[in-house]
């Protein structure tokens, strides 16, 4: 079992005013695929390097498999870190690159050959054994880098923005491959990204980090439906925020007297709801139905943003382009805000 625990982890560089990593505690389940998400400079990569042993924390502890690894050098931790640049050896063949770590461990040649053959089959790169890295596409190079890491059967695989240098279509392909590899191998994986969609697509759980501090650690859907605060909601594309007052199970605001879900936080004073959860037009439900004026619209290809006004409050909803084209600016629209789509922020 390879669970990972970060306990009050801190990292401050000499002469710095603020900690790069500020008192972060996390528990990562064995066999999970976890994302460290946040803007550039938030301390995500620093956390990976401390886990791998490339940096030493200022304070706190790192436990892998229930035991602290702080006293172990990187080569004794049985942890592999893949960087943004795949760092393949340019003058070694694909097979030699993949088997390099096993050779450094002085494994028998026959065992290395079998392991390389098996991992190349898994990575769908058979036939490339004798090629050099410069003869490979970007996606093939990334597959070789993953194969070189996984052939070692590490107890923990760390990935530092591994797909950020790839174009959009290839990035999606590699994300699907990583998800499949995780399912096949069961390896505990922790990856860094600044891309919300990548984190949501891949991770079982996401640790959102701002300015070296953990803001929310949760399942992907919680960041959309139950964000901890406004900054978390905005980072995940939240656009609608309306002040008001909670009175028992209803929220009074410029939109009216809105019924709230049963698990509504009692301390909240800012209503938030996702544009994609708003229902435009007549529905069978009369709960939280309001009338809003269409002030404008913005075509985004697969969807159209509707800019709506209800009294002094402005908010946004998503519509299909076909439906949005039938609406007239200044037209009143029937809008439904399902109670389960509403949430209060402090």
Question: For the domain that residue 157 is a member of, what is the CATH number?
Answer: 3.40.50.300
Domain co-membership, 206 together with 252: no
Range of the domain at 73: 4-225
Domain co-membership, 288 together with 159: no
Domain count of the chain?
2
Domain co-membership, 127 together with 245: no
How many residues does the structure list for the chain?
346
Q: What angle do CA 297, 300, 302 make, to 5 degrees?
A: 115
Say if residues 178 and 146 touch (Cβ distance below 8 Å).
yes
- Out of 200, 225, 250, a domain closes at 225
Domain co-membership, 249 together with 112: no
Ramachandran region, residue 266 (left: φ > 0; alpha: ψ -120 to 50; beta: rest)? alpha
pLDDT of 1 strictly over 80: no
Residue 234 in any domain: the answer is: no
15-19, 26-30, 109-113, range with greatest mean pLDDT: 26-30
d(CA 271, CA 153): 47
Residue 178 in any domain: the answer is: yes
Say if residues 140 and 61 touch (Cβ distance below 8 Å).
no
Domain co-membership, 312 together with 199: no
**What number is the average pLDDT over the span 6-17?**
94
Residue 154 in any domain: the answer is: yes
d(CA 78, CA 82): 13
Domain co-membership, 88 together with 150: yes
Confidence of residue 284 (pLDDT cuts 50, 70, 90): low
Reported pTM: 0.90
Distance of CA 19 to the CA centre of its chain: 23
Residue 230 in any domain: the answer is: no
Residue 231 in any domain: the answer is: no
Domain co-membership, 314 together with 190: no
Domain co-membership, 186 together with 253: no
Backbone angles phi, psi at 97, to 5 degrees: -60, -45
Percent of the chain residues topping a pLDDT of 90:
82
Domain co-membership, 157 together with 278: no
- Out of 225, 259, 277, a domain closes at 225
Task: Write down the pLDDT at residue 137.
Answer: 87
Residue 29 in any domain: the answer is: yes
d(CA 199, CA 193): 7
CA distances from 256 to 251, 252, 263 (A): 8, 6, 20
Task: Write down the pLDDT at residue 285.
Answer: 67
**What number is the average pLDDT over the span 208-215?**
97
Domain co-membership, 266 together with 291: yes
Task: Write down the pLDDT at residue 168.
Answer: 85
**What number is the average pLDDT over the span 238-247?**
95
Q: What angle do CA 230, 233, 236 make, to 5 degrees?
A: 150
10 Å Cβ neighbour count for 140? 17
List the CATH number of the domain containing 324. Answer: 2.40.50.100
Say if residues 199 and 206 touch (Cβ distance below 8 Å).
yes
Please tell me which residue, 137 or 272, carries the higher pLDDT value.
272
- Out of 168, 194, 225, a domain closes at 225
d(CA 164, CA 291): 43
Residue 33 in any domain: the answer is: yes
Domain co-membership, 180 together with 321: no
Read off the pLDDT of residues 78-127 as tens digits, 9 standing for 90 and up.
999 998 887 899 999 999 999 999 999 999 999 999 999 999 998 888 98
Q: What is the residue-averaged pLDDT of the chain?
A: 93
> Nearest CA to 238 among 187, 193, 277?
277
Residue 21 in any domain: the answer is: yes
> Nearest CA to 266 among 291, 294, 238, 245?
245
Domain co-membership, 89 together with 202: yes
């Amino acid at each position: 079992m390879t669970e990972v625990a970060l306990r009050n982890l801190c990292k401050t560089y000499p002469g710095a005013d603020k900690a790069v990593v500020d008192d972060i505690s996390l528990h990562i389940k064995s066999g999970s695929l976890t994302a460290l998400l946040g803007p550039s400079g938030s301390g995500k990569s620093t956390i990976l390097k401390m886990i791998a042993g490339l940096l030493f924390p200022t304070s706190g502890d790192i436990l892998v498999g229930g035991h602290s690894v702080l006293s172990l050098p990187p080569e004794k931790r049985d942890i592999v870190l893949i960087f943004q640049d795949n760092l393949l050896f340019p003058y070694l063949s694909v097979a030699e690159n993949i088997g390099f770590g096993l050779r450094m461990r002085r494994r028998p040649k026959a065992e290395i050959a079998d392991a390389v053959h098996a991992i190349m089959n898994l990575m769908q790169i058979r036939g490339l054994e004798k090629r050099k890295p410069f003869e490979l596409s970007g996606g093939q190079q990334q597959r070789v880098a993953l194969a070189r890491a996984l052939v070692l059967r590490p107890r923990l695989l760390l990935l530092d923005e591994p797909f950020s240098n790839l174009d959009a279509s290839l990035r999606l392909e590699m994300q699907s491959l990583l998800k499949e590899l995780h399912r096949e191998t069961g390896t505990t994986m922790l990856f860094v990204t600044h891309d919300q969609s990548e984190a949501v697509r891949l991770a079982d759980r996401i640790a959102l980090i701002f300015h070296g501090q953990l803001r929310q650690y949760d399942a992907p859907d919680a960041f959309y439906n139950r964000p901890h605060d406004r900054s978390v909601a905005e980072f995940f594309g939240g656009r609608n925020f309306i002040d008001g007052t909670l009175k028992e199970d209803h929220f009074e605001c410029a939109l009216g007297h809105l019924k709230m879900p049963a698990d509504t936080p009692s301390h909240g004073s800012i209503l938030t709801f996702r544009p994609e959860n708003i229902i435009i037009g007549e529905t069978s439900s009369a709960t939280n139905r309001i009338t809003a004026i269409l002030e404008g619209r913005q075509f985004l290809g697969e969807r159209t943003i509707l800019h709506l006004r209800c009294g002094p409050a402005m908010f946004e909803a998503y519509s299909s382009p076909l439906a949005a084209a039938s609406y007239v600016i200044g037209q009143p629209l029937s809008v439904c805000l399902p109670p389960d789509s509403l949430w209060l922020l402090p």
